[in-house]
Amino acid sequence: MKILFIVLLAAVFAAGGCGKPAAPGTIPFDLHADSLGVEPMPENAKLAANLDKAHDGLESTRWTTFGPMRNGYFVEMTFDGAPEVSELIFDARPSGLDYPREFTVELVNPDGDWENLGFYDESTTDDGITTVTFDNPREAQRLVIRLTSDANFWWSIHEISVR
């Protein structure tokens, strides 16, 4: 029984993290969430088991903030190396209005420097799907989506993908 448990645990770990296969044509990443300069994000929102739901291939499952969106909440994708990235898509459709209202996208380039790719608003969201296309493909070690305004809705991501 103990061995079975260990095997199951190993399988769970193997299914998560950067080693997880991404959808065809998308770039795999590790995801984490936190807050900067504001009240802390609820602990539930920072659990890996909940974050995994934002990139498990299932539109029915989601990561969410478990509370209203706050200026300073962020999600961060860490890549294996510094792949070229050109587009970021996140899907909140099943949760209706849980898309970010105003946000920035920042990256860490291969030299380790932070760059702000721009400020975005609701015009990037169409029917619950937010699409950010970069002016030019960029090499990134990390990408960060950071809210720059509050909203009276939770922030939910059913699936997030990077191309």
Chain residues that interact with Ca ion, rule: CB under 5 A: 53, 56, 58, 61, 158-159
What is the number of the residue whose Cβ is closest to Ca ion? 61
| Of the candidates 88, 104, 115, 110, the residue with the CA atom closest to the CA atom of residue 29 | 88
Residue whose CB is less far from Ca ion, 70 or 158: 158
Cα 78 to Cα 114, 121, 134: the distances in Å are: 13, 23, 18
Residue whose CB is less far from Ca ion, 98 or 106: 98
Minimum separation from the CB atom of position 58 to Ca ion (A)? 4
Minimum separation from the CB atom of position 99 to Ca ion (A)? 15
Cα 119 to Cα 37, 51, 104, 145: the distances in Å are: 18, 24, 5, 10
Strand 114-120 to 151-157 pairing: unpaired
Residue whose CB is less far from Ca ion, 53 or 146: 53
Q: In what order do the strands lie in the sheet with 142-147?
A: 30-35, 73-78, 142-147, 103-108, 114-120
Residue whose CB is less far from Ca ion, 56 or 76: 56
Minimum separation from the CB atom of position 56 to Ca ion (A)? 5
Minimum separation from the CB atom of position 55 to Ca ion (A)? 7
